[in-house]
């Protein structure tokens, strides 16, 4: 819906073609029974595989989205907005952490709060460019969510900041959605400068 984001995606695709890289989106749909699960830059949604009817959608809890919606008035803010739109292009074409989903047949698992850019690496790149997206440094955490496939209802979530509303495994950066196996979820995560393999009850 945003012409600036659309233009950034075209530019990013062209850049990857020039570098000999296929501009294949990293937003991977997942089929579970008769439901296609997918995410866009704005939401996580489920579609009936036979009819194409949208069954439910959940807005992505992403601070980048609210930053893009703010109306820049001066040149500095316009430059920042342009960098943010470029970041959305990088997310769509390069960020597997954001674009990959997993499921155990009952719930769909996704990574949220990847802020403000597609990854920790890209966040650092934006800081080096002089783009100040939020006060302080890029956050070293994100959030693992579990939504019920039938309804889209949020069943639980882990991670996030260690504030007064802290969840379990606060200050953890999940490196991707989990591998479901025999009622458990196995996921790689970074916590306190260590990469760990976590086993979580689904």
Contact in structure between 169 and 189 (CB atoms under 8 Å) = yes
pLDDT tens digit sequence for 36-75? 999 887 789 999 999 999 999 998 765 555 555 554 554 4
Give the pLDDT band of residue 138 (cuts 50, 70, 90).
low
The residue written with tokens 């820049």 in the block is 72
Residue 131 has pLDDT above 90, yes or no: no
Contact in structure between 151 and 122 (CB atoms under 8 Å) = no
Long-range CB contacts (within 8 A, 24+) of 35-44: 35/149, 37/101, 37/103, 37/108, 37/149, 38/101, 39/98, 39/99, 39/101, 39/110, 41/5, 41/65, 41/88, 41/91, 41/92, 44/101, 44/108, 44/110, 44/147, 44/152
pLDDT tens digit sequence for 161-173? 888 788 999 999 9
pLDDT tens digit sequence for 73-94? 544 445 455 556 666 767 777 7
């Amino acid at each position: 819906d945003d012409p600036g984001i659309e233009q950034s995606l075209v530019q990013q695709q062209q850049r990857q073609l020039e570098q000999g890289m296929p501009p294949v989106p990293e937003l991977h749909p997942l089929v579970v029974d008769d439901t296609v699960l997918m995410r866009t830059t704005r939401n996580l949604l489920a579609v009936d595989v036979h009819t194409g009817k949208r069954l439910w959608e959940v807005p992505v809890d992403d601070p980048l989205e609210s930053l893009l919606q703010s109306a820049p008035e001066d040149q500095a803010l316009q430059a920042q907005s342009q960098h943010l739109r470029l970041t959305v292009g990088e997310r769509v074409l390069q960020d597997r952490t954001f674009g990959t989903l997993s499921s155990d047949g009952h719930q769909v698992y996704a990574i949220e709060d990847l802020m403000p850019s597609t990854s920790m690496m890209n966040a650092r790149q934006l800081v080096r460019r002089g783009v100040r997206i939020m006060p302080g440094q890029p956050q070293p955490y994100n959030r693992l969510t579990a939504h019920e496939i039938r309804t889209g209802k949020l069943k639980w979530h882990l991670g996030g900041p260690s504030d007064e509303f802290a969840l379990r495994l606060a200050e953890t950066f999940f490196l991707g959605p989990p591998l479901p196996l025999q009622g458990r979820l196995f996921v790689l995560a970074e916590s306190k400068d260590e990469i760990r393999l976590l086993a979580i009850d689904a």
